[in-house]
Structure 1
Amino acid sequence: MLAPLFFAWLASAAISTKPPKGFVTTKGNQFQLDGKPFAFVGANSYWLPLLTTKDDVDATFKEMQSAGIKVLRTWGFNAINATELPGALSSGLTYYQVWNSSDWTLNDGPQGLQRLDNVVETAGKYGIKVILAFTNNWVGYGGMELYLNWIAGAGNTHDVFYTNQKIIASYQRYVTTIVNRYKNSPNIFAWELMNEARCLGDLPSGPACVPGTELLTKWYKQQSDFIRTLDPHHLITTGGEGHFFKKENIGFWFNGTFVSDYNFNGQAGEDFDLELHLDNIDFGTYVSGPYVPIQFVLIKHYFSTCISRYPQLDTPGSNFSVKDWGLMWMQDHISSANKAGKPVILEEFGVTGLQNKSEIYPAWVQFALDSKHAGCVDDISFGMLGLKESGGNRLIKYADALINGASPNDGLAIYKNQSSIWNVFTTAAKVQSAQSI
């Protein structure tokens, strides 16, 4: 009598591990949705939870749906210092954490997580899945250095975030709050550990985070394993920029000098090949464009600090171009993901200038489509027109603002009235949709 009961229990246990209906899964290097291929064009919109009216959020998702977008990537974080609270209340700024002393308090009210609730709920209304990032490598909108400054104190290097146990506990407390809030929602595509994790940020890195220490890889493993204990079903990814740590010294010649390439030499702290083999990292992420980090000139970029890539590209005597470099960068990540047997998403990319976009984007998108890009094309920086809150003009924070009804633009955003560029992605979305049957 014991054997039948035992086997019945095993069968029940197996059924309970199956993801609920509507949850995205992976099979080899492809995404699936309810057992069918799920290929898509995605969009980045960090500013969407910062909108103050449901009508504008609804209109934005409606526009995304009409463009064929199936996945949205946005911030699951917005933190402020207690001294910023009066200004936030008067301006209507969305905030989820308020830091004071060595701890933070949660804002789950109508100016806090209820706005994120609305984004996640409205996404489902329009058939769009959401990738949520838990914090930012950069100080903008309350990134990881708020944890570092309040808990570890001044004088510490950026990478202390990955090893300080009090900081890790605080980060995990916030992660637990967000995961438990949405872990039963099919509107969530995946959890993202951090936006663009690196050894350095607005603060410099220290000797504990140098090539070969695998500090970031160990942190990725620790946090992805932790999240898996909270949520057995949603996908988990790093949110990294896709830096490699190659044994060979990859670089380029510039003005007669060989330059070791930051994107391949491990200085960023990532090891894309190794990270993809972590048990609870379900797919890889990377970014491409002129603002992916290399060791040249620091640029303040509103909500992050980026390092300009290859200023010597497309100059007299150069033997490679932005377009060609991007194609090579895509192929490197696709090849790595295929070896690991996992999907990969080009989460952010872009070049500035309408002419540059017109010349480069078609080649990049077509390459992604031709290669099947391990399941998806990419995440564009989505621009929205016709926003109505505050008469269409409102300073949000930093230099981010609504101007004449247009959403914030970092120079990479794509708006519907830019028809030649817009059509590149809407056409790609139709191709991807045809593959998702």
Structure 2
Amino acid sequence: MRERKLYALIGGLLLLAVVYLNWEPGSGSGSESVFEIRIPIPWLQPRMGFVTRNSTRFVDSETGSLVYVTGWNSYWLMSSGSRVRVSEMLRRGRDMGMGVCRTWAFSDGGPQCPPGSMEWLSIIETILTRKNTYSGVMYSDEPAIFAWELMNEPRCVSNSSGPLLQAWIAEMASYIKSLDQKHLITVGLEGFYGHQRPGRLGVNPGQWAASLGSDFIQNSAVEQIDFASVHAYPDSWIPNASLEEKAKYLARWVDSHVNDSQNVLKKPVLFTEVGSHFHVKKNGSYDRDILLKTVYDKVYESAKLGQAGAGALIWQLVIEGMESYQDEFSLIAKEHPSTYKLIMQQSCRLRSLFGKTDNNSTKRFNLFRDYLIKMISFVGESNVSHCQGLHTNNEQDLLKVYYVQLIIYLCCFKEA
């Protein structure tokens, strides 16, 4: 009799634990609480392929199906996230049909000079070999991870001809591959062409762009770099241009990088940051929607032709209560119906080209939602100080990565 009561007590406590672990309270007054069963046990997870590449296309290693990306950036997700905020942001991304969220490790800050460069390799090893607290799966073995990004917008102004940055990219990419052969790697470039590409300098937004020590083709051509990355900020790069001029420039910018990725690099290209200001025009349209649609249309055209344009990620999405973390390009998507619709349309039309909705995708999202979906940027800031090392902050900030869940490729879509 006593044993029966004990079993009943244990069963009741386990039930309460399951309810607690799977209950997601809303993050704001307009958010609904969610209850979903998630079982973070590795051998109970649905089988999931890694994202790999076949020439200029991303493919699912398990099914062989093509993968095209409609995604978003949430810079704040690692430094200012919480379980509620992260879950809510990922849920909203899923509801718009998006599949990849890009964020930071998080190691923003000043230069790290030798012997700090040796510590940097240890930091990479710590991230790649860390086991997920929920699943027990090492990050280097986690198929839900889409890719590693070396650095956000790397520059080396003190060595504008580019060899120092090029050597750093090759060294870091090779080291990551020595620890992790399963995941894709990209650089994190803005996409500017260097002086060594005189025929491409007209694609840059200004003469200044060629003197930053980076070159889209040279940097992306490193053997261990699996796909090219490009940013797009016409409002910042050509601020005095009209909206029509910005849209034309942006179309040319995307075309150039898709063509070079297809014909020169022979690798996929992702437009990993697409940002624009929010201005209402007289006809009721928004600058941001017009410019974002320009990129989306070019990606879609490339997808239809089977070319290298593999997707785009808007910069950046936030949720309510994150006002202090917003920049001039941030938005709460549901407060801007036209942008929300545009994102959903892009997700749906890419999906309609290459395959049906995966019936298991929602299950995959539910099981992995606590693991923090993202394509990670190992380093936060844009300049390699004197090209001696990388931008870090301090040991405490670098260690933040230890107690959050990293980088997940979310292969979930929702029918529109």
- The two structures share one fold, judged by TM-score above 0.5: yes
Structure 2 residue corresponding to 1:374, chosen from 308, 312, 315:
308
Q: Which digits, 9 at most, give the CA deviation of each residue in 1:257-290, with x for residues without a partner?
A: xx96233x3x111121122321100000010113
Q: 1:409 to 1:276 in 2, by over 3 A?
A: closer
Matches within 5 A, 1:1-400: 21-33=48-60, 34=62, 35-78=64-107, 142-143=108-109, 145-147=110-112, 152=113, 164=114, 166-181=115-130, 182-199=139-156, 205-206=157-158, 209-211=159-161, 213-245=162-194, 246-248=196-198, 261-263=207-209, 265=210, 267-290=211-234, 308-314=236-242, 321-339=245-263, 340-354=265-279, 355-372=286-303, 374-386=308-320, 392=321
* Structure with larger RCO (C-alpha < 8 A, sep 6+): 2
The CA deviation at 1:232 is 1.1
Q: Which digits, 9 at most, give the CA deviation of each residue in 1:119-140, with x for residues without a partner?
A: xxxxxxxxxxxxxxxxxxxxxx
Q: 1:407 to 1:60 in 2, by over 3 A?
A: farther
Q: 1:38 to 1:250 in 2, by over 3 A?
A: closer
SS in 1 for 2:299: helix
Larger displacement relative to structure 2 (54-63 or 422-431): 54-63
| 1:54 partner amino acid | R
RMSD (CA atoms): 2.4
- Point out where structure 2 has 5 or more consecutive residues left out of the alignment: 1-46, 131-138, 280-285, 356-416
| 1:31 partner amino acid | F
Q: 1:65 to 1:21 in 2, by over 3 A?
A: closer
Normalised by the length of structure 1, the TM-score is 0.61
Q: Which digits, 9 at most, give the CA deviation of each residue in 1:355-381, with x for residues without a partner?
A: 211332223211221122625321012
Residue 21 of structure 1 contacts residue 186 of structure 1 at CA under 8 Å; is this kept in 2? yes
SS in 1 for 2:166: helix
Q: State the alpha-carbon separation in 2 of the partners of residues 47 and 311 from structure 1.
A: 26
Q: Which digits, 9 at most, give the CA deviation of each residue in 1:361-407, with x for residues without a partner?
A: 22321122112262532101242434xxxxx4xxxxxxxxx24xx96
- Answer 1 or 2: which has greater helix percent: 2
Q: Which digits, 9 at most, give the CA deviation of each residue in 1:340-364, with x for residues without a partner?
A: 2100000101210242113322232
| 1:190 partner amino acid | A
Residue 233 of structure 2 contacts residue 274 of structure 2 at CA under 8 Å; is this kept in 1? yes
The CA deviation at 1:38 is 0.6
Normalised by the length of structure 2, the TM-score is 0.64
Q: State the alpha-carbon separation in 1 of the partners of residues 325 and 336 from structure 2.
A: 14
Residue 186 of structure 2 contacts residue 228 of structure 2 at CA under 8 Å; is this kept in 1? yes
- Point out where structure 1 has 5 or more consecutive residues left out of the alignment: 1-19, 79-141, 153-163, 200-204, 253-258, 292-307, 387-391, 393-401
The CA deviation at 1:310 is 2.2
Residue 237 of structure 1 contacts residue 281 of structure 1 at CA under 8 Å; is this kept in 2? yes
The CA deviation at 1:42 is 1.1
Q: State the alpha-carbon separation in 1 of the partners of residues 85 and 122 from structure 2.
A: 31
Identity, in percent, stands at 26
